[in-house]
Amino acid sequence: MKLKKISRFLFPAALLLGSTLLSAAEIPAGTHVTVRINQSLNSGTTKTGETWTGTLTSDITSDGKVLAKAGDSVKGKVTFAKSSGRLSDPGQLSLRLSSINGQAVYSSRVSRKGSSHTKGNVAKIGGSTAGGALIGGLLGGGKGAAIGAGVGAAGGTGVAAATGKKEASIPAETVLTFTITGSK
């Protein structure tokens, strides 16, 4: 009688252990993994160390065996997040994959950088400087042009500072490819 009770618990436990061992097949280093992220990430609001989630877009196979299926869950970590400055230094984000279907992995980094400030700032400051010089020249001659240019440049710099943040962003549903560098 006791043997029946013990076997009733041992059999399901053995099945569970066996399925866990089969699903924990290690994903080989060098494997390319493509994922679709579930949420938007922005360098202005995201912090280093935050986690993100997503799903596999295709099966992961090795030696003809499927190690993970398309649609399986993935988790990752933001390894670097830097908000944009107003006049320079665009925002930056770096992400790594940390697990696939609950199995811990190490991966390459995927990074994004906001667009450059230079072109927009030159246009805002240069255009305001030229406009100020023109108006100053019309109103006060040569001396007025110099004063107008200075006022225009200051105004253009103010506009560039007020509108100048260039954050890095990764919209929800973005597909990213990581390379596995190891498993835990």
pLDDT tens, residue by residue, 75-87: 999 999 999 975 6
Domain count, the chain: 2
**Confidence class for position 164, pLDDT limits 50, 70, 90:** low
Strand partners, 124: none
pTM of the model: 0.62
**Confidence class for position 140, pLDDT limits 50, 70, 90:** low
Check whether residue 48 and residue 137 sit in a common domain: no
More confident residue, 45 or 143: 45
Domain that holds residue 85: 27-115+167-183
How many other CB atoms are found less than 10 A from the CB of residue 101? 19
Check whether residue 54 and residue 70 sit in a common domain: yes
**Confidence class for position 35, pLDDT limits 50, 70, 90:** very high
Alpha-carbon span 79 to 110, nearest angstrom: 10
pLDDT beyond 90 at 155: no
pLDDT at 18: 46
What is the Rg, in whole angstroms, of the alpha carbon atoms belonging to the chain? 28
Check whether residue 72 and residue 144 sit in a common domain: no
5 within a domain of the structure (yes/no)? no
Contact 55, 35 (CB under 8 A): yes
For residue 86, the 8-state DSSP code is S
Measured CA to CA in angstroms, residue 2 lies from 9, 42, 151, 166 at distances of 11, 60, 94, 70
19 within a domain of the structure (yes/no)? no
